[in-house]
Structures are given as C-alpha cells and as structure tokens.
Structure 1
Amino acid sequence: MSSRDVTEEMFGMLPVTSTIVVRDTTEPREASGYWSKAYLSRKTHIPRTKSVWKDEIEAIATQLANAKAMYNALSPIYTMPNEVLAYIFEILAYTNGYRTEGCKWGWVSISHVSQRFRSVAIGHASLWTNLLLDKQSFPFDVFLVRSRRLLLEVRGEFEDQDLISGHWSAVPGHWSTVFVNPVFDNLARMRLLDLQHGTIDSSNARDWLQLLHEPAPELRELNLKFIASLYLDIDPDFIRDRAPKLQTLSLTGLQMSWNINSSLFLRSVRLINAEKGDGSSPFTFKNVLHCMQNLPCLEHLYLWKSLPAAKEDLSDTRASLSYLRDLYLTDCDARCLVLWSSLNLPPTCIIHVTLLDRIGDGETIRLSACLQGHFMRSDCPTYRRVMVAGDSEDDYPYSLYPNDAIHFAIHTMPGDGRDVERNGMSPPGEREDGPSTIRFSFPGHYETDFVCSLMALIPAEPVQTLSISDRILALGIDHEQLVTKALGHFNAIDALSVSGMVDDPESELIKAFGECLLRQCQRQLSERDSATSFLPRLDTLYLEAFPFRNKAERARGPRLVDIMATFLQSRAAAGIPIRTLDLSHSDIGRGRVQTWQSWVEDVSWMESYAYDSAPELSEETTTQDGTGSWQDTWEDDADSSDEDL
C-alpha cells in the first residue's frame, strides 16, 4: 500500500483541501483525543512490517506539513498582500546584499523560507536585477533568468590574491575574463556597469574595453576603474552613438576623449589619474573647453590629474555649465585654475580646488581674480563659515601631500565651529543638496602672506564662524601672523574654534592664539574700550587639545591657563561674556573649570581630561577673587606649583 493510499484511508473523513474551523469553546485536548483514536483505529489494521510503517510515517509527515502550513498561514506576515511582501523583500535586498557577512546568500535566503515567500520572490523580477561578477560562485545565470527582461545592474571587482597581499600579479588569462562573454551577451540590457580591475595585466583590461565597441542602448551609468593607468581613451562614438542614454561616466586609469563635437547628455563626469602629466597628451586644453561646451546638462565634474597641459592662449575660449553643482579639480601646473577661470558657473556651485605643486605669481593673480569675480557677483551666496585646516591621512582619493598641506574652505552654513573634518574637509562626493562651499588645498610651503591674502578677499561681515586647526603642519607658516590676521579680518564672528593636536603639547597654533589673547589683555590696561573692540560678538569658544597643564611653558612667561582666565573675566566685566565654552581633549583641572563657570554661562569639557585630585589654586597664584591672573604669575611662573590646574 502506497503512502498516498494510506493517507486517503486514514484521513479520508477529512480531505486535505478542507478547512478546519476551531471554535473558541473547543478544548485543546479534544484534538489530541481525536487523533489518538484515529491512530488507534488505524493501528489495528497495519501489518507489523517495516516497509508498511515507513509508508505510514511518510503519510503522517505529509499531513503534519499541511497542518503547519495552515498554522503559518494565520501569521500576520502571511496576511500581507503579495505586493507588500515584495516591497519588504526589496528593502532586504537593498540592505543585505548577496555577500552579506554572516548570512549565507544574503537576502536570497528568503526564497527558501516557505513556498509563498519563494513564489513572491521569484515572481518579483526587479529583485534579481543586481548581478555580481566574482569567483565566489555567484548564481549569475539564475539571476539572469529570474530578472526576465528588466534592465540589469552589473558590478565586478577583480583582484588577485597576490595583489591584495602586496605583490603584483600579471598572469595571462586572468580569471576575470571568464565573465567577458556573459557581459557582452547582456550589454544591451544593462543600465549600470561597474568594473574595478585590480591587476596590471593590460591585456585583460583591453579585453574588457572591447565592450565599448558594442551597443549599450539602455546604459545610464558606466564606471571603469583600472589600478594601472593605461592611458587609453574612450571612443567618443560609444558615448554619443552606442550609449545615447549614458548620464554618469566614471573612469580611473583611462582617458576620456575630449574630441566631442556634438551635445551629450552626461550629468556626471569623474576622471581619476587619466593624464600622463608629461605634456604628451593627444588633446589640448581647448579640446577640453570645447567638450565642456557640449555638456549642457552636466551637474557633477570631478577631475583628478586628468587635464592636459594648458600651453595655448585661452583668453577667447570659455564654456558655460549652467547646471553644475559640484566642481572638484586636482592637478599640477595650475591646470585646475586655468579650467576654473575658463568656466561660467552658477553662484551656488561647490568648488574644490587642489594644487599639487607651487604656483607662480601669475597663477596667484589668476586665483585672486577668480575669487574676486565670484564674490563681486550680485547673486553670490553669503558665506558664513571660514575654515583653515591641514591634510588628513584619509584624504580622497589618495594622500596628496606628506603631512604638510593646507586646506582652506568657506561655507554658506555657519556651523558650530567644531566640524573642521565633518563639514568642508570631508572627502568630495556628489551631493543631493547642501550648502555652497569653496575649498582650496595646496602644499604647505606657501608663505603665510599667500594664505592671508586669500582670507582677505572674503567679505568679512557675513562670516559668523571661524575654525582654525593645527593639522596645518605646514613648513614656513607663521602661526602668529595667521591667527592675528584671521581674527583681525573676521572680527565680527559669533563662534571661534581653535584645535590643537592631542599628542602635541607644543602646538605652534595654540601658542600663537595665547600670544594674541595676551596682547589683547595687555591692551586692556591702557585702552578703556579694547575689551569691546576685540571680537565683540563672540559668544561661543571651542578649544580642542589645549595643553593647560604644560609645565614647559612656565619658563616662557604667562601661562596659557591664566591668560584664558583673564580673557574670560575681562569679557564678563565688559558686558560681553562668552556664553558657551567647550573644552575638548584639554587637560584642565575641575576646580579651574568651576571657577570659569562664574564668567561663562555654559562650560563643557571631557570628564576624562578633568583632574579631581588637583587642588583648586595654590597660594602663590591666587588673587583676591579666587582666580589666577597672568599679571601675578609673570615673575613667579618658574617656581609656582602646577597643582592648581
């Protein structure tokens, strides 16, 4: 007797397709009693052979599975329409890719939860349109079939293990080429193609570049990244004719052909390391400008060492990019300045210019003219924040300088004075919306006058926030001159941020800031109105990594902590107190902070840098009002105790 016959005989009184309605008054034990009786009545007719009982077990298992399916069907998630369930799966596919760590198959595992989940997942073709090219057994063909005829997004990142471990490997017949044919066959369906090749074997790269000779009528985004610069240019016919819908073009190690003589509808162009830099480029700077004239819809332009040398006269050649929102230029020989000065840009365009080497006097004049022309526009944005900071280790896309670069930025948003890296010094990227920014990065061996001359061009009155960071680390920079000129020019600011280095108690910037405050305190003794003329609107002061407990400064004159106390007290006495004082990573005693709270409404500091064991003040440095004064410690600093900090 087969398991099907057993099922029909044992459960014939209750067909599988029937619906059980359990009333609330039914006792739970009734079901147990019913199935016990049914089993006992069936048991007496079953021969005692192993094969027969195997059929019985299979039949019971089938009914148990049906009962579990009925039970699961009453769960809340099963009451959702298929459309809602598919939308949930789309969110899972977005947040949990196929290679999600700790989850085999990522979101695809939902197709193995139940028959309904599987039916909905397979029936929703858009879930299967994101394909990966890798050697870890990605089910490329399965995704291809289940995506039906929808447009595809294909991404591949190819890196040899030798390359990852730091050893270059250039093996002919690289395994990544096995994906060339599948990509060729489905190129007409692709809306996005992202290939990142981590090998210096140019033959493999050339195999992939053959794609650009095939039609891609639906392609919207193309990203080709090769770790070795091949200096091959992309056929302009591909962009113009074979990929007419292309909007985003990103090339690394490849050259874009600037010989484009018809309008293209590209919205984003990103070129990295696409120019040899030795002047041997087949293109001229006029080719670049003519190409820009044929990109009327361009919104994002990012060029990193991708411009040819500007050797010809460009005074009569300009290009208008009316919709440009982001302009990021990094290059040598002042090429980025030449391009910037040759473009007509909207006033709200974000501009980031990075000079990789020192520019001459003529290019300095060009830079000043660009800034003056921008600030003199009637529709120029109002810039409210000025930031001066140094290079960071994770600068994008590569570290530009050996720890001696200056970053100088201005923003339309005022900020709070604390966000030197979070706003304005962050890696460049395409923004959806945000404040207008102008940022310059240049080698630190420029004279201080050069930096100050740039700041002097900025309209001072609207600026509300000034941030200066000791990450400058620039050779030849006169920090005292920089601080004095900056505070003198932006005298109407509301917030001031001065940041030292946590591991540098001898910060030149903090010394310069202390000297500036000291001169102001000394001036108050001879000038009645000096307290109200120096930063009269300042109400927020943010100090980071200030070495208030630095013993080495005692031999040099007034201590920084006493200068700061006198500065805060004098402003409170003049009726223009500092309302917010934020001490971050600054080693200062808790007693000193409590004293400062009598002059400042809100004083905040990191508890880990406040020392509970330090006495409030030593007898030598205590004035009648319980505070330390720089005047009292001028003569006795070398002998006074450090415990009062």
Structure 2
Amino acid sequence: MLFHSADAHGHCMDVDLPAPQAREVLEEEVSRYTNHICDLRSRINSLAPVSVLHSEILCEIFLRAARGVNDYEGRHWRSKYGWISISHVCRHWRSVALSCSVLWSELHLPHASHEFLQELLVRSGTAPLTVTYLKWETSGWGGHAVTAPTSLEQVAMAMILGSYHLERVRSLSLTFGHTGHDEILRLLNGPAPLLESLDITCVSMSDISSDAYDCVHQFIHHPETRRLRRLELYNLTMRWSTIVLPQLTHLNIRSEGRFTLLVDVEELMSSITYMNNLEELVINNALKPKPFDMSTVSNTFALPRLHTLSIQEGCSNCVHLLNRLEVPSLLYLNLGVSHFSGSIRSWLTQYRRRH
C-alpha cells in the first residue's frame, strides 16, 4: 500500500507498506497528533484566569465544593462523591486534587465500594479521617428506614476501624437499624488518638449486647483517646456512674423514651460533675421519671463554660437539673417541660429571673 506519511521531523514521504504495518504507522501518527493537540489545549488552559490560582487556593475551593455537595444533597448515594467530577476537568486540576489528601479523607459507607474505599485510604495519605456509616432504604410508604449492614459493609468497617486506620479517625458517626450494631461496635477496641467527635445512633432501639457496651465504654476511656470533645448518643444507655470524661465540650443524650434505655438523673449528674469543660449540654427524653419534690436539696456543681443548655424532660427532672447546675456563662436555655403545674411554673419563673 502506498500512502503519504510524515517522518519524525514532519517531512512528508511516500511509504509502501503492507496494510497491517501501514495501519500501525497511521495509528502512531494519530496518537502523536492527538498528544500534540492535548499539549496545545493544556497551554491554552494555562492562560485562563483561573490558572493563576495557587494550588493551595484551588485545594481549598475543592474542599468547599465537596462539603457543599454532601451538605446539600443529603442521603442520595451519588451526592457523596459527586464532587469527584472536579478532578476530571483538566490535568492540572486532577493533579491538584490528587495532591490534596484532606479532600479524600471523608469516608461514607455504604456509598463507597470496597475497592473505592481502599483507594480513598491511599489517596488520603496520613490525613485525619471522617467516617460515617448510615444506610437508608426507601420503605414501602415512600419513607426511609435504616437497614442492617451487609457482610461486605462489615468487612469495610473492619478495614477502616482496624488498629492502623482507627488511629487516623478524627470524627466517627455510626447509625444502626435493627441489627448489625454489635458486630461494628465490637470493632471499637483500639486507641483513637485523633478522635474528637463520636456519634452513635440506634434508630430502632434494639437491645445491644453487654460486650458491645463494654467495647464502647473502654473505647471512650482509652488512655490515648484524649482528644474526644463531642459525644452524641441516641438510644444508647451508658453506665454513667462509671464514665469520667473531663475533656468533653459537647454532650448530647437523646432517647425515644423506652424505659430500659432511660438513665437515672443522679447517675447522669455523677458523670457530668466532672465535665468542667462542657460548653453545650443536650438531654432529650433520656431520664427516668422522677417524683417531684420541691423540698429536696442536692449539692450543686458548676459548669463554668456552659453556654448552651437544652432539656426536654419531665418537669421534675428539669427542675432537678436546673437546681443542681451553676451556669455563670449560660447564653441559651431551651426547656421542653411536660406536665406543668402551678408550683412548677412559679419555680421556673423565679429561676428565669435569677438567671
């Protein structure tokens, strides 16, 4: 076959080759021109105004875009990692995105497949991890329900919460349905020196085994888990009389009100007494009913840094808590008191005047 081609210097020449070889030569020539066009386009892109931005600024823009997508889109699986399209715009943006380890440090299960999860762990380098497990499925009535983790998801969580990666976790949020919580809670058996926030939600109020409770208790009291500042528990009753967490700044305890999940107010107070650094305290439907007795006087204790206090409880527990707490820095007080009586209303009015 005789056809025109160009040598390495771009000079045109006639070539007589068999068809297979001629095809190979032509494909090489197409590849060479394609690469040259890509290079020209990259040079054109380098002249765009956005290209003058430093890599650090671009990385910050990418981080804000990723967080904005996750906050706005909610639970839909495509939303969690939809921001990755940013890295497909051009070679420069992809290079910047891959070099920004923090950008890949948010792990959402089960939205990330096992293979993708491994890639995220590699790309995130040594950056602190934010780990969220939340699995929603559409119910028959068009609502959403939390379902149990599959075996593959449990394997993925085991990979993340293994001793090496657990030491990188800064924020951990676990939301469970009817089953599967024990297997994952048992994984919390190592140090988490970077952990600052722990959120455990049991939507279905399922019973959790005693050894799973023990794992959580030992986990938050581990000598190397000293950075824990925020603790949020929903339908998870702890043995508060044995919990000492003076480093906490935010404590949120909520329950749907099943009696076996409720805690005695005095037991809870015995733990809060040591939380001198608390800035926010939320107690919602989590306390056992207590007979109202205005004559009962207990020792008070101060939470000098507390600026936000929210209590949604029966009137007796509300009054008891407010009687016990000294909160000189309080800025916001939210009370949801049930079963009002005249004497309680009068007491709350006096309390508001004093504070």
What TM-score do you get using the length of structure 1 for normalisation?
A: 0.46
Q: Distance in 2 between matches of 1:144 and 1:164?
A: 37
Aligned residue number for residue 65 of structure 2:
92
Q: Distance in 2 between matches of 1:252 and 1:293?
A: 21
Aligned residue number for residue 200 of structure 1:
178
Letter in 1 for 2:121: L
Instruction: State yes or no: 1:151 paired with 2:128.
Output: yes
Instruction: State yes or no: 1:191 paired with 2:191.
Output: no
* 1:566-597 superposed Cα distances (whole Å, 9 cap, x missing partner): xxxxxxxxxxxxxxxxxxxxxxxxxxxxxxxx
SS in structure 2 at match of 1:331: strand
Residue in structure 1 matching 2:314, options 332, 338, 352: 332
Residue in structure 2 matching 1:182, options 159, 162, 174: 159
1:335 shift after superposition: 1.3
Q: Distance in 2 between matches of 1:339 and 1:194?
A: 28
Q: Distance in 2 between matches of 1:98 and 1:360?
A: 42
Instruction: State yes or no: 1:8 paired with 2:8.
Output: yes
1:264 shift after superposition: 1.6
Letter in 1 for 2:134: E
Provide closer, same or farther for how the CA distance between residues 71 and 364 of structure 1 changes in structure 2, counting only shifts above 3 A: closer
Instruction: State yes or no: 1:218 paired with 2:194.
Output: yes
1:120 shift after superposition: 1.4
Instruction: State yes or no: 1:80 paired with 2:61.
Output: no
Query: Could you say which structure has the higher helix fraction?
Result: 2
Q: Is the 8 A contact 1:180 1:207 kept in 2?
A: no
Q: Is the 8 A contact 1:129 1:144 kept in 2?
A: yes
1:174 shift after superposition: 6.4
Give the length in aligned residue pairs: 333
Superposed counterparts of 1:289-438, under 5 Å: 289-310=269-290, 315-332=297-314, 334-346=316-328, 348-356=330-338, 358-374=339-355
Q: Distance in 1 between matches of 2:314 and 2:7?
A: 82
1:95 shift after superposition: 2.2
The alignment's C-alpha RMSD in Å is 3.3
Q: Is the 8 A contact 1:99 1:106 kept in 2?
A: no
1:170 shift after superposition: 7.1
Q: Is the 8 A contact 1:255 1:275 kept in 2?
A: no
1:346 shift after superposition: 2.0
Q: Distance in 2 between matches of 1:119 and 1:45?
A: 41
Provide closer, same or farther for how the CA distance between residues 98 and 177 of structure 1 changes in structure 2, counting only shifts above 3 A: farther
- Gaps spanning 5+ residues in structure 1: where? 11-40, 375-645
- Bigger Cα displacement from structure 2, 70-79 vs 118-127: 70-79
Q: Distance in 2 between matches of 1:119 and 1:346?
A: 51
Q: Is the 8 A contact 2:70 2:80 kept in 1?
A: no
What TM-score do you get using the length of structure 2 for normalisation?
A: 0.80
Provide closer, same or farther for how the CA distance between residues 58 and 169 of structure 1 changes in structure 2, counting only shifts above 3 A: closer
Letter in 2 for 1:284: D
- Gaps spanning 5+ residues in structure 2: where? none
Higher relative contact order (CA 8 A, sep 6+): 2
Aligned residue number for residue 65 of structure 1:
38
Amino-acid identity (%): 22
Max radius of gyration: which structure? Answer: 1
Q: Distance in 2 between matches of 1:173 and 1:65?
A: 44
Provide closer, same or farther for how the CA distance between residues 314 and 152 of structure 1 changes in structure 2, counting only shifts above 3 A: farther
Q: Distance in 1 between matches of 2:228 and 2:80?
A: 35
Q: Distance in 2 between matches of 1:55 and 1:113?
A: 26
Provide closer, same or farther for how the CA distance between residues 317 and 308 of structure 1 changes in structure 2, counting only shifts above 3 A: farther
Superposed counterparts of 1:1-80, under 5 Å: 8-10=8-10, 42=12, 44-47=13-16, 50-51=22-23, 52-80=25-53
